[in-house]
Amino acid sequence: MIHTDLCIIGAGPVGLFAVFEAGLLKMRCHVMDVLPQIGGQLSEIYPKKPIYDIPGYPVVLAQELVDNLSKQIEPFNPTYTLGERVEKIERQEDESFILETNEGTQCHAKAVVIAGGLGCFEPRKPALEKLENYEGKGIDYMVRHPEKYTNKKVVVAGGGDSALDWTIYLADMVEELTLVHRGSSFRGAPDSAEKIFKLAEEGKLNLKLNSQVTALHGNGVLKECLITDKAGKAELVASDYFVPLFGLSPKLGPIASWNLNLDRNAINVNVEDYSTNVPGVYAIGDINQYPGKLKLILSGFHEAALMAQSAYRVVSGGKKASLKYTTVNGIQSF
């Protein structure tokens, strides 16, 4: 089990900056996120978009801001559990908490900070019957361990960048590769589209345009995908793995069942310290709600600072944090 002072749910900009504010007060942080990388909406939805309203930066690209936040919190050595969704928070008798992820990772923390943004980013799933039956038994919505496809028969679906990039990556290692795309051409990076057509020409890729996977067959584990084209012609393709890559979309997910006061998918908080109705649990950033709330990175940063002052009291058993400027003390790492 991981032991920490603050367990922060969500590695978006606000969760990351909370590590900094907590670190100044000598609180250790563990950060958990369902995405395999840090950055929240900035890295997932708009990494290359310029942001103009971060103080001190006339303009900064979203991914650049995430990279800088990550550098800024390095002195405080935060630890991370990435690629796992926090499912449960259980309050212990001594008022500490045990959090558990969908993969069974546990974290023991003196206080919890929910910086969950719009919720969990979850894969968009194709509308196929019995899809759930094959999850973990042949269907992967994200490529996490590409080596497992070595010498296997793989069907990838999608027409976006990640479908193209992974198809190109897998071409040399799998036994048989099929790419299924609903449309007749690929937009996006012309270079990737060119590579895809070249792989198909060389016979390394079975390219099915204007087609969709319409059924899954197997006996407990996936054996075949039925691929149907626009004219209605169907073909069974032997498949050890089906990898639908249709991007991610946010859903509130497990947060809804944590006994917190919710209002329209956001957590109600006390604006003095962004605490929730559960003592020791805070909610900052896009996930919280109060009169006048602005869903901006800037507001989340401010909330992180006030949260940290209050959480310090919880973590240190009632002591009040005294405000010290970083210009006076510098950044004292541990």
Partner 1 sequence: MDIKIHIEEADGNINTIEAPTDMSLSLMEILKASDYPVAATCGGMALCASCHVEVLDNTYNEEANDAEMDMLDTLPVVSNSSRLACQMPITEEMDGIRIRLMAEEVTG
Residue 177 near residue 206, CB atoms below 8 Å = yes
Candidates 14-22, 102-110, 132-140, 183-191; binding stretch for partner 1 (CB under 8 A): 183-191
- Do 165 and 192 form a contact (C-beta atoms < 8 A)? yes
> Does the footprint of partner 1 cover residue 293 (CB under 8 A)?
no
Q: Which of 8, 19, 29, 86 binds ligand FAD (CB under 6 A)?
A: 86
Q: Work out whether 2 is an interface residue with partner 1 (CB under 8 A).
A: no
How far, rounded to the nearest angstrom, does the alpha carbon of residue 160 sit from its chain's CA centroid? 18
CB 14 → partner 1: shortest distance, Å?
16
Q: Which is nearer to partner 1, 87 or 122 (CB)?
A: 122
The SS3 of residue 51 is strand
- Helices 297-315, 13-24: inter-axial angle, 10-degree rounding: 40
Taking CB under 8 A as the criterion, the residue among 182, 293, 302, 313 binding partner 1 is 182
At residue 244's C-alpha, the angle toward residues 196 and 139, to 5°, is 125
For every residue of 249-314, DSSP letters joined together read EEE-GGGGGS---EETTEEE-BTTTTB-SSTTEEE-GGGEE-TT---SHHHHHHHHHHHHHHHHHH
What distance, in Å, lies between the first and last C-alpha atoms of the chain?
Answer: 21
Which H or E run includes 67?
helix 62-73
Interface segment toward ligand FAD; rule CB under 6 A; list 90-98, 139-147, 156-164, 247-255: 247-255
Q: What is the DSSP string of 178-231?
A: EEE-SSSS--S-HHHHHHHHHHHHTTS-EEETTEEEEEEEEESEEEEEEEEETT
Residue with smaller CB distance to partner 1, 175 or 194: 194
Considering only 159, 254, 285, 300, the residue that binds partner 1 (CB under 8 A) is: 159
Which string of x and - marks every residue 279-298 that binds ligand FAD (by CB under 6 A)? ------xx--------xxxx
Question: Rule CB under 8 A: is residue 183 a binding residue for partner 1?
Answer: yes
Q: What are 280's two structure tokens?
A: 């020791």
46 binds partner 1 (CB under 8 A): yes
Question: Which position among 7, 112, 118, 222 is part of the footprint of ligand FAD (CB under 6 A)?
Answer: 118
Contact between 83 and partner 1 (CB under 8 A)?
no
When CB distances are held under 5 to 8 angstroms depending on the partner's kind, the choice from ligand FAD, partner 1, none that residue 40 binds is ligand FAD
Which strands make up the sheet holding 288-289, listed edge to edge? 262-263, 266-268, 288-289
The residues that touch ligand FAD, with contacts defined as CB under 6 A, are: 9-15, 32-35, 40-42, 45-46, 49, 51, 53, 85-86, 115-121, 253-255, 285-286, 295-298, 300
The residues that touch partner 1, with contacts defined as CB under 8 A, are: 45-46, 49, 118, 124-127, 158-160, 181-183, 186-188, 244, 246-247, 249-250
